[in-house]
Amino acid sequence: MSETATRKAAPDAPAASPQSPLFDLLARSWRLDVPVAEIAFDAAGKAAGFAMEDGRIALMPLEDAESPLHRMRVEADSGRSTIRPREKPVAAPILTPELAQGSAMLAVSGSIGLVAAGQDGRIHRVTPRGQVIPMTGKPSPIFALASDGLGRLAIARDGWVDLHDEEGMARQSGLLTPGPASALAFAPGDGTLAVLLPDELFLGPPRQGYDSLPLGGHGPLAFSTDGAWLAGSNGKDGFWLLRRADRAVARIGNFRAPPAALAFNRAAGAVFAAGAFRAAGWALDTPPIGNETTGALKTGQSGLVLIERIAAHPTRDLIALGTADGAVSIARVGHGAEMALRQADGHAVTALHWSSDGLHLALGTAGGEAALVTLPPQIFK
């Protein structure tokens, strides 16, 4: 039986505290009143899902009748681009019922919408229009979720990881683990699964077996877009970087906080980590194997507030930075200048994610604000 999501009533007051003129021009923002824990875009590019700490998911369509793309004008005499202000209020988000105890884990569905899993064991499919379809209600707690985007789900429970067909949830294979995994990730292309535990990493094709490597930690875990590199937070003061071809490892430490986000930028051939006072990045063609300063990239500005979240543009050499006081900026890899996008409001940025086409940047905060920022390509020329 499916459930129907509801549309949140539009608030009488502004959705957020006063923001920069650029943010007001480019962003649709909503006050959810509950902290945002995670963000995911569906594969079809129809909607963004914001997982809230009360177990609900807020859905925002990417289609926008008053998109900045429609409000942009190019002056004939100077060629200068301008964007007129939005004339109508933004549509209210669609809110699902409570789907998890605490925030739901999100993954991209291989068929439609998103897959949402709760630590209480419930798993649902959520369509872009807000229809909620139960997939399984197995009571065993879930600690991590990953999708290969092609119809397979990996689910970590206490002591094992199972691979399932998304349709029908038939079990394909399993892996016994010494305790619960904190993160799972599929490698693009070859379907290799990475399983991160406190003291080791399991890596391999699920149906053929796994190798165990001494690369433990506590999420996040991320593959590069070509699958050649894998990065994982050590859960303490930094992260490790694995080159899959020869199993060479770089270990980078001395971060102010455990990196809560890792990102590979394909255009720049670089990896970045949150948890420092500036964007911490390294070039992959000169990786920090044996020396953590090798290949270091000075990107963005150094400040007095920690970078909590970091996200890489899918096609350009750009990264988005979200700080502990709520500011968001965009920087070009290897350059010191930043484009300030969102002003600090005292609430940490807790989620930051680009759409697959790079047109939209989604963000969520500990203060319960969610936003979709549409960034016309002309801004970066």
Return d(Cα 51, Cα 35) in angstroms, integer. Answer: 9
pLDDT over 90, % of the chain: 86
Give the list of residues 6+ apart from residue 123 with CB closer than 8 angstroms, or none: 115, 116, 117, 134, 135, 136, 137, 142, 145, 155, 169
| Average confidence (pLDDT) over 47-76 | 92
Q: What is the mean pLDDT of residues 8-23?
A: 58
Instruction: Say what the pLDDT of residue 73 is.
Output: 83
pLDDT at 138: 73
Q: What is the pLDDT of residue 349?
A: 98
Q: What is the pLDDT of residue 8?
A: 53
Q: What is the mean pLDDT of residues 118-130?
A: 96
pLDDT digits (tens, 9 = 90+) for 367-378: 999 999 999 988
| Three-state helix/strand/coil letters over the chain | CCEECEECCCCCCCCCCCCCHHHHHHEEEEECCCCEEEEEECCCCCEEEEEECCCCEEEEECCCCCCHHHHEEECCCCCCEEECCCCCCCCCCEECCCCCCCCCEEEECCCCCEEEECCCCCEEEECCCCEEEEEECCCCCCCEEEECCCCEEEEEECCEEEEEECCCCCEEEEEECCCCCCEEEECCCCCCEEEECCCCEEEECCCCCCEEECCCCCCCEEECCCCCEEEEECCCCCEEEEECCCCEEEEECCCCCCCCCEEEECCCCEEEECCCCCEEEEECCCCCCCCCCCCEEEECCCCCCCEEEEEECCCCCEEEEEECCCCEEEEECCCCCEEEEECCCCCCEEEEEECCCCCEEEEEECCCEEEEEECCHHHHC
Q: pLDDT (tens digit, 9 = 90+) per residue, 265-296?
A: 999 999 999 999 999 999 999 999 999 999 99
Instruction: Provide the pLDDT confidence category of residue 4 given band limits of 50, 70 and 90.
Output: low
Q: Is the dihedral of CA 299, 257, 118, 206 positive or negative?
A: positive
Span 147-188, pLDDT tens digits: 999 999 999 999 999 999 999 999 999 999 999 999 999 999
Give tens-digit pLDDT for 204-252.
999 889 999 999 999 899 999 999 999 999 999 999 999 999 999 999 9
Average pLDDT of the chain is 93
In the predicted model, is pLDDT for residue 329 greater than 50? yes
Amino acid identity, position 122? R
Taking CA atoms, 103 is separated from 55, 158, 324, in Å, by 5, 18, 20
pLDDT of residue 3: 64
Tokens 């149906």 sit on residue: 207
Q: Which residue, 304, 286, 217, is CA-closest to 258?
A: 217
**Total number of residues shown for the chain:** 381
- Asked whether the beta carbons of 304 and 277 are under 8 A apart, the reply is yes
* Whole-angstrom distance, CA of residue 332 vs CA of residue 235: 27
**pLDDT-based confidence at residue 19 (cuts at 50, 70, 90):** confident
Average pLDDT value for residue range 339-367: 97
Model confidence, pTM: 0.93
The closest alpha carbon to 132, from 151, 147, 118, 146, belongs to 118
Average pLDDT over residues 50-69: 96
Query: Residue 253: its pLDDT value, please?
Result: 96
- Give, in order, the Cα–Cα distances in Å from 351 to each of 53, 82, 373: 12, 29, 13
pLDDT of residue 67: 93
**pLDDT average, residue stretch 46-55:** 98
189: pLDDT confidence band, cut at 50, 70 and 90? Answer: confident
Does residue 16 carry a pLDDT above 50? Answer: no
Please tell me the least confidently modeled range out of 48-52, 75-79, 165-169: 75-79
Q: Give the integer Cα–Cα distance in Å for 3 and 6.
A: 10
By CB atoms closer than 10 A (0-12, 13-18, 19+), residue 242 is: buried
Higher pLDDT pick, 376 / 349: 349
Q: Which pLDDT belongs to residue 72?
A: 86
Poorest-pLDDT segment among 4-13, 170-179, 330-339? 4-13
The yes-or-no verdict on residue 1 having pLDDT over 80 is no
pLDDT band at 7; cut points 50, 70, 90? low
Whether residue 287 contacts residue 336, with contact meaning beta carbons closer than 8 Å, is answered with: no
Per-residue confidence (pLDDT) for residue 74, from 0 to 100: 74
